[in-house]
Each structure stands twice: as C-alpha cells, then as structure tokens.
C-alpha cells in the first residue's frame, strides 16, 4: 500500500490524525519516496515568533532530478508536457520526459555558459511557451534561483523585481501571441533594463519572429547558444533549505514582496497535495490554466505534475479565442482528465452561454478544480453541472503564494464537497479561526480570521532580502500563528468557507493587488493630488477596482483624465491593475488623525449607501454626501 496516497474517507481521517499527532513522522514518510542525494538529519525546526521554519534539515536533493531523471527509466517515452498554442491552426507540441530532460539539461548548460552560478537570481519574463517551463527547470537544475515575472506586468514592475532580487540575468522571448493580438516581450525587458545596470546577460527565445533589438555584449539568442552545448548536465546538489525560487506577491503595504520557497519542503508538499487533492492516477492528462507567472503555475502546472510523472498541459492563449469554447475544445482535443481553473474564467465563460459548451463532449474529464478567489454558488453549480456533467468531483482549493501549495480543499471524490466551500484542511494543515483579539474560536458554525498554527513543509521561508517584513506581515499580528490575511467561516461540521481578504488587498480575477500599490501608481499621474482605492463586487472579476481621485484642477474633460490615469497604472503596474471605475472627488473621508476611512469608501463603491455606520469621527462629514452623490 502507498502510504502517501489517500483513497478513502477513512484514509483521510487516519492521515489527518497522524499528521497532527506526529507531524515529523508523517512528513518524513511522505519524503521517503523521492531521490535524495543525502537523507535529512532532522525533519523540522521552527520558531513562529521569528517566522523561521526549516524542513528536512541537512538533506540534499535536486527537484529536477525528481521531476525528470527519476521518471526516465519508467516513463521516458511518456509525454511530460503538451503545449497548445494560441492559434488552434498551429500544431500542438508533445514533449516526452526524455525530451524534456534533454531540453532542460541543454538550457542549463546555456545558463552556465553565460555565467549563471548556483545561488544567482534569474528573472524569467516569458509568455506561456515550452521554453518558459524549460527555463524554470534549467535554473533549478543548476541551483540558480528563479524569479518568474508574469508577462502581463509593465517594464517598471520588471525593473522593481530585478532590482529587489538583485538579478543579473534575464530569460525572455521576442514577443508573445495572445488571442487576436501580438504583444512585445523583449521590448518591455529592454525598457526595464534601462534602470537595471546590474543585468549582465539576457537570453532571448525566438517565438513570434517579431524583430527585436539585441544589445551587443548583453543579449544573446537562445537558439544560437543551444548550438554550443550538449544535453549532459548532472543536477546540482541542493541543501533542503537552499532557495528554489522567489515569487513576488502584493500585500497591503508598499511594493510587492519576494516570497521565498526552498527546495526540500516545497517538493514534498507540492507532490503530496497534487496527487491527493486531484486524485491523480497514472496516465492522467492534467491541465492547469494558470500562467506560470503565478504560484498556481509554479506548483500545479510545472512542479506538482512533473513530480508525479503526469502529463501536464500548457496553453498559450486565452479562454475566448478564437471563441468562448476554446477551453472545452482543448479539453476534448487532448482528452484532459483533470482541469484546474479560476472562478473568474468560469464566470466569464458562463456569461457567453452554453452554445460554446454543448458542441464539446468533455467526456475525458474526471476531476475539475477551482483556485484563486471565492467561487460563488452560481458559478460553482454551472461548473459542476455543465463542465463536470454532474459526475466530476469539484475541488475548491484555497491557498496562497506564501503557502506554496493547497492547504484547504476537499480531496476529489474522497472527502465531501459543498458549494463555495474549500472544505477540509489537508493532512499536516492545522487551521484555526481567531477573534480580532487573537483568541482561538473553538466552536463550529462561526466566522473568524483564518490562521494556521503549525508549519507545513512549503510554508514561506522569508521575504527576499528583508526577513523582518516576513515576520511582521505573517507572524506578528497573532503571535504563534501564521496569519493568512483571509477571513473564513467554519460550518456546523467543520468545513471552511473562505470569505476573502480582511486586509487592504484586492483580488481581481484571481490576481492580488495592494490598494496602496494601485494608489501609488494613480498618484503618478500629473492630474492627481491624492487617491484612495477599494475593491467592489464585480460579476466576472470577483472584485473590481474602484478609485476615488482628487485632482489638482477642476476636471473639464473627465474621459481624458481617466484615460491618463489608466495609462499611468498600465505603465507602472500593468494592464491587469487598471481601475474599473474612477470617481473624481474634492476630498476623502478622513478621521481627525488623517486616516482614510476605507470602510465608507467600500460601502459607497458596493452601493450600500444607507448603512455607512458611524461617521462622527470624520474631519469633514460633508465629503461623504458628495461621494455618495457622485457614485459611479
Ligand atoms: C493560489 C493563489 C491568495 C489569495 C488568498 C485568498 C484568495 C485563493 C481561494 C481564495 C477563496 C479559494 N495565491 N484565494 N484561493 N479565496 N477560495 N479557493 O491564488 O497568493 O495569488 O492569492 O487568494 O484571498 O489569500 S495568491
């Protein structure tokens, strides 16, 4: 019997009990099946006061050896990666484990040839093409720390991340194709690098064939470099706690933080959660629609499926090109068994109607999943009925960039599911609900702040270059716990339902932004004196971005000013952070101490104008009336 695989409710109950009674024994058993170059000495050391955690201490491994080499003898000729291009007229690519191994080794040799060394940070800014997965794995192969930046972020965001991580290398492509449009990639890197003198080398994959400027001495073509290397590259020995990657994510204050994950614990947790949540079976074709630029793409498009020896599908395009049936056409074309996407995609396709679903069979699907934001009941039922045909388990998976892997979810067809409930903690995960004062709530049928009281192997290790920020953000508000920033309900039976963020983070189509981050971008506009941003319920995106803006002059051409603000946000962060609504105001509701009362702004944005609560502490209560009257 495979002790690492949960197949029944009784298995789950048993695994959960063991994981709490003896976490070290439980996780050591999970870690045993991997290829270790040296076994660990101790399983766990942690200090939640300092926000420090280490797993499999003294162990040595390479995650790519476990993703690739380990499978060669048994499944070398099995397809590891299916690539479905943006244009359905173009052929898909099928890359076997043997071929992927060779491509990763060759790319790793290109990195070495270009001066990349173990521990160096490498920024990867690429669209969803096979070279992106190969680049990620090539970094891991030689022990370089990858920092993938989603290819929808602006030049300025790339520069911020390169500078914060002190990356001297950038891996990119010429351009990208998304839907009916082509877009620049290398051009944005060039713009970013004007402010990053530390970057020594840029390696460019040819993809769209669009012309790009190559800076002599700095930029090289991947295909030219590959001509100089062979496919022999042993995997570097990494300490369990050596850095595997940095991934930037937004918080309630300041600039995005570089969340750090390390080699051993991340590998063990992502593998365990992948196989058990989705009930992966040998031979299954798994499709995670997330971009590799987000944690979901790291953990469940690349690492989790490859660790399990699965066939993982990578899709370059968008759900609505050439039409709103593309996802379902791709499921049928490649006979996808497990499909994992975000509620925002479901809601948007739902709005296009069943005419796009009905021509497709979807008979290959066995499990469907959701991630990134709360899935409302209407979307849950539509997904379950029309995509899962009522027969596929639907897993609503709650987790974060910081958690590395799924923490709360039902296990497909094993533990029960309930609409809009992530439901059950995975083995090894000990969630609690806290009162605002930090007291654990023991009862069921309650609501509270979601925290976790014991480390799991893929917990955040630090925020790159600034551990104090990590300690402050996650471990200081409620001492002794990892604080998630989410609020949740626990139903009468103990299932969790995630309500959403309780901090100044908004979740737009499953993407996280800090309100302060967007305000800073808006304030860069010449017209703007001050701004305040809040989230509001949006039918498709989950949350939309609502900006209240004070200008330095009377607004005569509102559309021109709005366009300027939107252009500024696009320039500073990227098009994904564009405000949906911009309301011009003469003042913001501030307390006498100068603090903006966001509660009032949120209520107005939500349209709940009658219940604004206590406004007597406001410096100037009249602004509230003006704001209500001007609501967009
Ligand atoms: C995986 C990911 C994390 C935030 C998190 C939540 C929200 C994610 C769910 C969810 C309700 C879910 N990482 N969130 N999954 N809310 N149900 N199943 O999205 O770092 O980008 O975002 O996303 O608020 O704190 S993330």
- pLDDT classification of 253: cutoffs 50, 70, 90: confident
* Residue 540: pLDDT band with limits 50, 70, 90: very high
Q: What is the pLDDT, as a whole number, of residue 509?
A: 94
What confidence category does residue 621 fall into, taking pLDDT thresholds of 50, 70 and 90?
Answer: confident
CA dihedral (129, 262, 499, 473) positive or negative = negative
Rounded distance between C-alpha atoms, residue 610 and residue 388, angstroms: 41
pTM of the model: 0.97
pLDDT in tens, 399-422: 999 999 999 999 999 999 999 999
DSSP code of 52? Answer: E
Q: What is the pLDDT of residues 458-488, one digit of tens each?
A: 999 999 999 999 999 999 999 999 999 999 9
Pocket of ligand 1 (CB under 6 A): 249, 294-296, 371-374, 396-401, 422, 484-486, 498, 500-501, 507, 510, 512
pLDDT tens digit string along 485-504?
999 999 999 999 999 999 99
Which helix (H) or strand (E) element contains residue 57?
A: strand 52-57
Length of the chain: 632
Identify the residue whose C-alpha is closest to ligand 1 atom 17: 374
CA 62 to chain centre: 23
Residue 2, pLDDT > 80, answer: no
CA 274 to ligand 1 center in whole angstroms? 17
User: In angstroms, how far is CA 353 from the centroid of its own chain?
Assistant: 28
484 Cα nearest atom in ligand 1: 25
Return the H-helix or E-strand segment holding 76: none
Residues 53-94: tens digit of each pLDDT: 999 999 999 999 999 999 999 999 999 999 999 999 999 999
Per-residue model confidence (pLDDT) at position 78: 98
pLDDT in the model for residue 1: 61
pLDDT in the model for residue 618? 84
Report percent pLDDT > 90 for the chain.
95
Token pair in block for residue 141: 């192969």
Output the residue whose Cα is nearest ligand 1's atom 10.
373
Task: Report the nearest atom of ligand 1 relative to the CA of 408.
Answer: 18
> How far does the centroid of ligand 1 lie from the alpha carbon of residue 401, in Å?
8
Structure tokens, 152: 């929808």
Distances (CA, A) of 563 to 33, 518, 555, 569, 578: 56, 15, 13, 10, 10
Encoding tokens for residue 442? 């023991």
* Distance from C-alpha of 108 to C-alpha of 65, rounded to nearest angstrom: 13
Say if residue 220's pLDDT is above 90. Answer: yes
Distance 87 CA to ligand 1 centre (A): 30
DSSP, collapsed to helix, strand or coil, labels residue 116 as coil
Q: What is the pLDDT of residue 27?
A: 98
Provide, rounded to the nearest whole percent, the portion of the chain with pLDDT above 70. 100
Is the peptide bond prior to 322 cis by the omega test (within 30 degrees of 0)?
yes
- Ligand 1 atom 19, closest CA: 372
Q: Which domains does the chain have, with CATH numbers?
A: 9-27+41-318+397-452 (3.40.50.12780), 507-629 (3.30.300.30)
Which range is least confidently modeled, 5-14, 246-255, 276-285, 427-436? Answer: 246-255
User: 371 alpha carbon to ligand 1 midpoint, in Å?
Assistant: 7
Q: What is the pLDDT of residue 592?
A: 86
Ligand 1 atom 1: residue of nearest CA: 400
Question: Which residues are CB-contacts of 559 (< 8 A; sequence separation ≥ 6)?
Answer: none
Query: What is d(CA 238, CA 59) in angstroms, rounded to the nearest whole number?
Result: 8
């Amino acid at each position: 019997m495979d002790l690492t695989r949960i197949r029944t409710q009784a298995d789950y109950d048993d695994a959960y009990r063991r994981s709490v009674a003896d976490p070290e024994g439980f996780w050591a058993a999970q870690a045993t099946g991997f290829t270790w170059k040296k076994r660990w000495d101790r399983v766990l050391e942690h200090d939640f006061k300092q926000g420090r955690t280490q797993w499999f201490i003294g162990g040595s491994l390479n995650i790519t050896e476990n993703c690739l080499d380990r499978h060669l003898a048994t499944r070398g000729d099995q397809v590891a990666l299916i690539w479905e291009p943006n244009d359905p007229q173009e052929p898909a690519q099928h890359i076997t484990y043997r071929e992927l191994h060779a491509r990763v080794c060759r790319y790793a040799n290109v990195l070495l040839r270009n001066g990349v060394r173990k521990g160096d940070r490498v920024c990867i800014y690429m669209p969803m093409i096979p070279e992106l997965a190969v680049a990620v794995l090539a970094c891991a192969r030689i022990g370089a720390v990858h920092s993938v930046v989603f290819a929808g972020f602006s030049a300025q965001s790339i520069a911020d991340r390169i500078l914060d991580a002190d990356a001297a290398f950038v891996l990119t492509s010429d351009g990208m194709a998304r839907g009916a449009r082509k877009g620049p990639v290398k051009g944005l890197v060039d713009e970013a690098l004007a402010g990053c003198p530390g970057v020594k080398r840029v390696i460019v994959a040819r993809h769209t064939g669009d012309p790009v400027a190559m800076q002599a001495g700095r930029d090289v073509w991947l295909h030219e470099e590959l001509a100089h290397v062979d496919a022999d590259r042993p995997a570097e020995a990494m300490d369990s706690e050596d850095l595997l990657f940095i991934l930037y994510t937004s918080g309630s204050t300041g600039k995005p933080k570089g969340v750090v994950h390390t080699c051993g614990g991340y590998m063990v947790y992502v593998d365990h959660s992948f196989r058990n949540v989705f009930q992966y079976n040998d031979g299954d074709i798994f499709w995670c629609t997330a971009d590799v630029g987000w944690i979901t793409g790291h953990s469940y498009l690349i690492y989790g499926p490859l660790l399990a020896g699965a066939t993982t599908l990578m899709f370059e395009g968008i759900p609505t090109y050439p039409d709103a049936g593309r996802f379902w056409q791709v499921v049928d074309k490649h006979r996808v068994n497990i499909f994992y996407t975000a509620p925002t995609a479901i809601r948007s396709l739902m709005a296009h109607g069943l005419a796009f679903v009905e021509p497709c069979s979807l008979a290959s699907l066995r499990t469907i999943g959701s991630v990134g934001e709360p899935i409302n009941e209407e979307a849950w039922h539509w997904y379950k009925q029309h995509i899962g045909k009522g027969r596929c388990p639907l897993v609503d998976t709650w987790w974060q960039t910081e958690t590395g892997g799924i923490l709360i979810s039902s296990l497909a067809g094993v533990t029960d599911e309930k609409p809009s409930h992530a439901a059950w903690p995975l083995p090894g995960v000990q969630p609690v609900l806290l009162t605002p004062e930090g007291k654990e709530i023991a009862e069921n049928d309650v609501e509270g702040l979601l925290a976790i009281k014991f480390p799991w192997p893929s917990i955040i290790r630090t925020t790159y270059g600034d551990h104090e920020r990590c300690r402050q953000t996650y471990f200081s508000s409620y001492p002794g716990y990892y604080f998630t920033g989410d609020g949740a309900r626990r139903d009468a039976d103990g299932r969790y339902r995630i309500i959403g963020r309780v901090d100044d983070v908004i979740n737009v189509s499953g993407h996280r932004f800090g309100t302060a981050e967007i305000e800073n971008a808006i304030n860069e506009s010449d017209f703007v004196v001050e701004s305040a941003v809040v989230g509001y319920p949006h039918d498709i995106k989950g949350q939309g971005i609502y900006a209240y803006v004070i200008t330095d002059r009377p607004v005569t051409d509102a559309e021109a000013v709005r366009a300027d603000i939107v252009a500024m946000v696009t320039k500073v962060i990227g098009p994904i952070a564009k405000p949906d609504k911009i309301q011009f105001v003469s003042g913001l509701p501030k307390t006498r101490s100068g603090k903006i009362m966001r509660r009032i702004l949120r209520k107005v944005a939500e349209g709940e104008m009658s219940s604004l609560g206590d406004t007597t502490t406001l410096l100037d209560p009249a602004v509230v009336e003006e704001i209500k009257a001007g609501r967009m």
